[in-house]
Amino acid sequence: MNFKKPHTPNQDSGIRLPWPKGLWLFLFFPFLWSCRPIDATPPVEAPEMVVLDIPPGIPPMEIEPGNELTQIRVDLGRRLFYDPILSRDQTISCSSCHAQVQGFADFTSVSSGVENRQGKRNASTLVNLGWHEAFNHDGGTATLELQMQVPITEHVEMDMTFAEIIERLIKQPDYVRHFAQAYPERGLSGYALTRALGAFERTLVSFNSPYDEYTYRGKGEALNPSQVRGLELFESDRTQCSNCHGGFNFRSPGFANNGLYIQYADSGRAAITIDPGDRGKFKIPTLRNIGVTAPYMHDGSMWSLAEVVDHYATGGANHPNQSQLISGFLLTEQERIDLINFLLALTDQKFLSDPTLAP
């Protein structure tokens, strides 16, 4: 056996090259090649992330670890959001009751589920949900991923089970592939279904209304004088509006009875807590895009902002659980118009027509 190496006296010096430069590079090729098999895994490319359009001054949105907003997850979620495959008779999708032009709300008081089954509450607007701490009008679900399991499985909504959805999706190789790419560890699963929908719904962020331009981007001209006066009224002790509908999402955590009725057909929060003191209380909703999300209230019983403002001005029906903050106020006709004009300044036209949120 001969272990003698070929005589290459200058190989280590790196100064005097016995061979042409090109040949030297050639020598290194085997080393470059061998790096890959040692690593076993190919270098992972950082997945493309969705960047949310959030102005400075807004706290960061909390994201569940493992469900960071990659483009592929958001794309999968959007696909599912618009796909009627999630409903029993494959006639309705999430978007049937949450339409983009309506601020991801519905134009009827109470939406219809499969076979025209009627629910009992108004479909909520889906906007800036990543900052909410409770979902559904009664706050029965604590996360967006838990919330979406309600409409999917409710008898009067989509009336499906996860087992059946997975059975359907598994027959579509393109979906199976999409799930595997978006969630390599779980693939097509109940987990990935809820997380993908959650990822998409977290991209439903709206911070481009005239109010946002005025407040967060310092564009004084974004609100007209009537709207500026309306903003002042909104935040005044006279109306108390912002005490409940405050902050960057025009809402506050918690539930309130806003004095719609003396007797509530829908027990609201009490359905969850079984506390009579919670009867007729509902989640305080956001007012973002309120100009396009009519009808209003948990039961969709009011059709115009004027009607809503007038309701609060009269002080409500005095239900025992009614919020103390609702005690009535007197506005001049101009002030009433100013307040409504301000509410219309919460409409984000960019959000309502953003193609990345469309099917």
Partner 1 sequence: MKNTLSTLGMILLLCISSVSLTSCNNDGCTDPNALNFDDKADENDGSCEYAPATLMLNTDAKFGSEALVIGNEYTLMSGRKISFDILRFYMSNFRLVSATGETSLEDVYRQWSPEKSEMDLGTVPAGNYTALKFDVGVDDASNTGDPASWPDDHALSSSSATFDHWNWSSGYLFMKVEGKVDGSDPMDGVAADDLRWHIGTSASRRTITIPVDLTIAEGGSGEVHIGVDAMEFFHLLDVTQASDRVTHTNDNMPLAEHIANHFADAIIAQ
Residues at the site binding partner 1, with contacts judged by CB under 8 A = 136, 138, 140-143, 145-146, 149-150, 153-154, 161-163, 166, 186, 189-191, 193-195, 271-272, 274
Q: Kindly state the smallest distance separating residue 118's Cβ from partner 1, in Å.
A: 16
Measured from the CB atom, the residue of 88 and 336 that comes closer to partner 1 is: 88
Helix 71-81 with 173-182: angle, nearest 10 deg: 140
**Distances, alpha carbon 166 to alpha carbons 41, 148, 184, 257, in Å:** 30, 15, 16, 39
* Spatial contact of 86 and 158, defined as CB atoms under 8 Å apart: yes
Catalytic option among 157, 201, 213, 335: 157
Cβ proximity to partner 1, 84 vs 140, nearer residue:
140
Q: Are 192 and 169 in contact (CB under 8 A)?
A: no
- For the CB of residue 35, give the shortest distance to partner 1 in the complex, in Å: 36
157 is known as an active-site residue = yes
Q: How far is the CB of 131 from partner 1 (least distance, A)?
A: 19
The least distance separating partner 1 from the CB of residue 150, rounded to whole angstroms, comes to: 5
Q: What share of the chain is helix, strand, coil (3-state, %, to 5)?
A: 40, 5, 55
Residue (54 or 150) nearer to partner 1, CB: 150
Q: Smaller CB distance to partner 1: residue 32 or 163?
A: 163
Q: Which residues contact 15 (CB under 8 A, 6 or more apart)?
A: none
Collapsed DSSP state (helix, strand, coil) of residue 7: coil
β-partners of residue 112 are 118
The size of the chain, in residues, is: 359
Of 295, 283, 267, 311, nearest in space to 110 by CA: 295
Q: Which residues of 84-96 are buried (b: 16+ CB within 10 A; e: fewer)?
A: bbbbbeeebbbbb
| Residue placing its CB nearer to partner 1 in the complex, 168 or 331 | 168
Identify which of residues 182 and 241 has a Cβ nearer to partner 1 in the complex: 182
**In sequence order, what are the beta bridge partners of 268?**
281
CA atoms of 337 and 241, how far apart (whole Å)? 15
List, by residue number, the catalytic residues.
157
